[in-house]
Amino acid sequence: MSDQTYAFVDIETTGSSPTTSRITEVAIIIMRDHEVIDTFQSLVNPETSIPAFITKVTGIDEQLVKHAPTFGEIAQTVWEKLQDCIFVAHNVRFDYGLLKNEFKRYDIEFSAKTLCTVKLSRQLYPEHSRHGLDALVQRFNLNVENRHRALDDCQLMIDLWGLWHEADSENLMHSVKQQLRGPILPKNLAPEQVENLPRTPGVYYFYAEKDSIPIYIGKSVDIRKRVLSHFSGDHLSSKQAKMVGQIAHIDFHQTTGELGALLHEAEQIKEYLPVYNRQLRRMKTMYTLHLQETADYHTVEIKEIEPFEFLQHKNYYGSFRSQRDAKKVLENFVVELGLCEQGLGLSKGSAACFSHQLGKCHGACVGKVLPVKYNFTLQQALAKYKLKDWWFTGPIAIKESDDSQERSQVHFFDQWCYLGTLEAQSDEPLNLGDLHPPKFDMDHYKILQRFFRQPRPINTELIKLESLQTYPQ
């Protein structure tokens, strides 16, 4: 590894977001064979304001960078300096992600192998709990003139590298090799946590330090591969970068196939409400489009209902998380189909609606459209939002086996409602009493719809039941 070229990089910025913060200073020290061969440093005009608290930390204010080049003016130079180098930084995920975003603003593709000196410090000195630059300066009695300035912080990394190499060069190179051959794990996550993950279908859980509730729940047909993908990306999303940085523990639940993973993920997200999961959350109430059939023009109202009510009314169309989402659908009916905003409950009045005055509504509000034609158009528009009829005469079970055929799970459904999953043991009958009562959930409906639309996996078996007492033992 000694013949590698390393670019030690430090960046000062306007904030802590890798996507929205801008660079105010960049420094690069190039090292090969443990010798510095090139140095680059420049203040950068961020083309935006610098918060006072940032100036207090770095000493960089707007006056200092007023006549400095923008990043666009030095981008090519920076890019050339970093070519064919291993990108080294203290908490490399932030510096690398932010620099990559800056390059992207100027349509420049940038990619490099990365090395984190925070992780190196943890690997080399696991007996210590603090590995920030300030802690390392104090521990190794390093001299620094302008802490939180890019070139000075870069030089600190060079000094640390020299000390680590002198103390135990073999261990340093071994730690470097470990990092370079795999993804960048969160600094608080033990490598064994990832190594112990199975390559099977299931659900995985991310936990923050000392947290009993997962911060994120995901699913995959290959748990280990999917988890590693969270750590291998460039984390262009500041939300994702923040989440990954908090991960201190990973747990998992194995299923026999993809269907079981999808169902379990949906259930677990609704139970735990992880802060970084926005999809699949349970809806205590939902909104639907309620068609009211009359002898004249049919009308629609946005109605708030309980999820269990959705199956009980033939004139309910669509399931929406908010009134605003439902309203957008109706507004599209006006624009695309010429339906009347008054009849859709978007406005009130007895004269021509405002959309008719704008030429959007075809005139149902003033009798210009025959009711039978208007009602047909409305019903056709609503049809795509209608819950599909249950295709079976009774409940069904889907038996899903793993690749070895040694383990099977049976998923039960009735009227699109998920009733639960039971482990199938060849020598034991299923305890159907462990199933829960039917309760409609739009996510379960969509999961089952997708399952039937796609070619059926070879490891699944559909079993039609007359009742929940007729499952073959």
pLDDT digits (tens, 9 = 90+) for 225-279: 899 889 875 555 778 888 998 999 999 999 999 999 999 999 999 999 999 998 7
Q: Where are the domains of the chain?
A: 5-180, 191-272, 286-383, 396-464
Q: How far from the centroid of its chain's Cα atoms is residue 414's Cα? A: 31
pLDDT digits (tens, 9 = 90+) for 358-376: 999 999 999 999 999 999 9
Q: What number is the average pLDDT over the span 389-403?
A: 90
Q: Is the pLDDT of residue 469 over 80?
A: no
pLDDT at 195: 82
In tens, the pLDDT along 456-466 reads 888 999 999 87
The pLDDT of residue 318 is: 87
Predicted local distance difference test score (pLDDT) of residue 252: 97
Residue in the structure block whose two tokens are 């608290």? 53
Superfamily of domain 191-272: GIY-YIG endonuclease (3.40.1440.10)
Looking at residues 400-427, what average pLDDT do you find?
Answer: 88
- Of residues 396 and 466, more confidence is placed in 396
Contact 243, 216 (CB under 8 A): yes
Distance, in Å, from the CA atom of 101 to the CA atom of 18, rounded to the nearest integer, reads 7
- Which residue in this structure is represented by tokens 């959705």? 310
User: What is the pLDDT, as a whole number, of residue 424?
Assistant: 87
Coil/strand/helix, residue 3: coil
Tell which residue, 469, 375, 376, has the closest CA to residue 431. 469
| Cβ atoms within 10 Å, residue 246 | 18
Edge-to-edge strands of the sheet including 286-292? 299-305, 286-292, 316-320
Which residue would you say has higher pLDDT here, 213 or 306?
213
Dihedral over alpha carbons 460, 461, 467, 470 (to 10 degrees) = -120
What does the alpha-carbon distance between residue 148 and residue 164 come to, in Å, rounded to a whole number? 22
Confidence of residue 326 (pLDDT cuts 50, 70, 90): very high
User: Could you tell me the pLDDT band of residue 472, with boundaries at 50, 70 and 90?
Assistant: low
Beta-bridge mates of residue 417: 414
Whether the per-residue pLDDT at 2 is higher than 60: the answer is no
Average pLDDT over residues 182-199: 86
Q: Per-residue confidence at 380, pLDDT binned at 50, 70, 90?
A: very high
Domain 5-180 has CATH 3.20.20.70: no
Residue 382, amino acid: L
Tens of pLDDT, residue by residue over 279-300, are 767 666 789 999 999 889 999 9
Instruction: For residue 425, give both structure tokens.
Output: 């043991």
Task: Look at residue 97 and give its three-state secondary structure.
Answer: helix
Determine the pLDDT at residue 159.
Answer: 95
Q: What is the mean pLDDT of residues 156-180?
A: 93
Distance CA 26, CA 16 (A): 15
Helix (H) / strand (E) element for 409: namely strand 408-414
Are the C-beta atoms of 319 and 325 separated by less than 8 Å?
Answer: no
Q: What is the pLDDT of residue 373?
A: 96
Q: Alpha-carbon distance 344 to 358, whole Å? A: 17
How close are the terminal C-alpha atoms of the chain, in Å?
61
Q: How far apart are CA 289 and CA 381, in angstroms?
A: 11
Name the H helices within 132-221. 133-139, 150-180, 191-195
Token pair for 130: 């603090």
- How open is the CA angle 34-176-131, to the nearest 5 degrees? 95
CA 223 to chain centre: 15
Question: What local confidence, expressed as pLDDT, does residue 84 receive?
Answer: 94
Q: What is the mean pLDDT of the chain?
A: 90
In 3-state terms, what secondary structure has residue 390?
coil
| Whole-number pLDDT of residue 285 | 76
pLDDT at 313: 75
Q: Are strands 5-13 and 86-89 parallel, antiparallel or unpaired?
A: parallel
In this prediction, what percent of the chain has a pLDDT beyond 90? 67
Residue 239's pLDDT is 82
Which pLDDT score, from 0 to 100, does residue 283 have? 67
Q: Which residues pair with 70 in a beta bridge?
A: 45
The pLDDT value recorded for residue 278 is 81
